[in-house]
Amino acid sequence: MKPKSPFHGAVIPLVTPVTPTGDLDEAALDRLLEFQIAGGVEGIFVLGTTGEGPSVPRAARLRLVQRTVAKVQKRAQVYAGIGDQCLADSALAAQEYFRAGVDAVVAQPPVYFPLQPHELLAYFRSLLEQLPGPMIIYNIPATTRVSIPLELIGQLKGHPRLAGMKDSENDPKRLEELVKRYGGDPKFAVFMGVGAFMVQGLKLGADGIVPSAGNLIPDVCHQICASVARGDPAETDRLAARMKTVAGIYQQDRTLGQSLAALKATLHAKGIIGPHMLPPLLALPETERQSIRTGMKALGLLD
């Protein structure tokens, strides 16, 4: 077993609780964070895809990060997304977040202009040079429309502020190659962002997982990582099946945006947050929320 990276385990991409008017719902955020900590998760990731990061008003982003850091109180690591189109804005956000106390920032490529590999390389190199702390590169072609080449990661690897990669590209061969190439270095953390590949990735040597289902079942996601680490395949398979079934409640037959609205609806049913979304996404209609509550009861997620 390789030495453990400083960044590892179940890192939950947190939804962003908001009020009906789109303001940050700080009380709901506190409840959601305590729910995650009680589940034993190793990390909390705010302003990611699941957190509607690009849709969160700029004025609310720093407050969200500050509130998260203050509430978590080092009981888990805190990661924050820096997904602006402007390099200077991304660097400035990262500097503010590190001052607020985050452990790492997470950066995906800018999405407006189609970028060639050499342009991506120059972008990430420039961003890394402007950061005061660790950065995780985030590959998610479903939203950015660009796949970050693994060879590019090899060119960046070794930079003192590059701490790892989260890969959410739905390509099992690529994810296996990612772990094979870079999963043996304790200074470079590899995170699996695709639910179907999380367990296999951990078994191959990935450092952690970033499961949206963790918002709803943080304990299960934490236990998946623990069971793989101690070599208990039967328990791992049982927990992975549970995670897949729970994720099906909000993901099945839905677009990415609709699945995020459905995930918030599950947390609303548990009384943790409201169902409200940030534009351009819309909350689920009440008829769909009722269907979700029925499904949750069938799985023992509601009384």
137 has which bridge partners?
107, 165
Q: What is the mean pLDDT of residues 125-151?
A: 97
Residues 6+ apart with CB under 8 A from 174: 147, 150, 167
- Residue 296, classified by CB atoms within 10 Å of its CB into exposed (0-12), middle (13-18) or buried (19+), is buried
Reply yes or no on whether the pLDDT at 287 is more than 80: yes
- Give the Cα separation of 245 and 257 in Å (integer): 19
The two structure tokens encoding residue 147: 């796949």
For residues 83 and 111, the model is more confident at: 111
**In this predicted model, what pLDDT tens digit does every residue of 37-74 receive, in sequence order?**
999 999 999 999 999 999 999 999 999 999 999 999 99
Q: What is the DSSP letter of 14?
A: -
The mean pLDDT value for 97-116 works out to 95
Residues 195-215 have pLDDT tens digits of: 999 999 999 999 999 999 999
Q: Is 231 exposed, middle or buried (0-12, 13-18, 19+ CB in 10 A)?
A: exposed
Predicted local distance difference test score (pLDDT) of residue 92: 97
Q: Which residues of 35-181 form beta strands (DSSP E)?
A: 43-46, 77-81, 104-107, 135-139, 162-167
Q: Report the C-alpha gap between 256 and 259 in whole angstroms.
A: 5
Which CATH fold topology does 9-232 show? TIM Barrel (3.20.20)
In terms of residues, how long is the chain? 303
User: How do the domains of the chain map onto residue ranges?
Assistant: 9-232
Q: Please tell me the predicted confidence (pLDDT) of residue 126.
A: 98
pLDDT exceeds 90 at position 5 = no
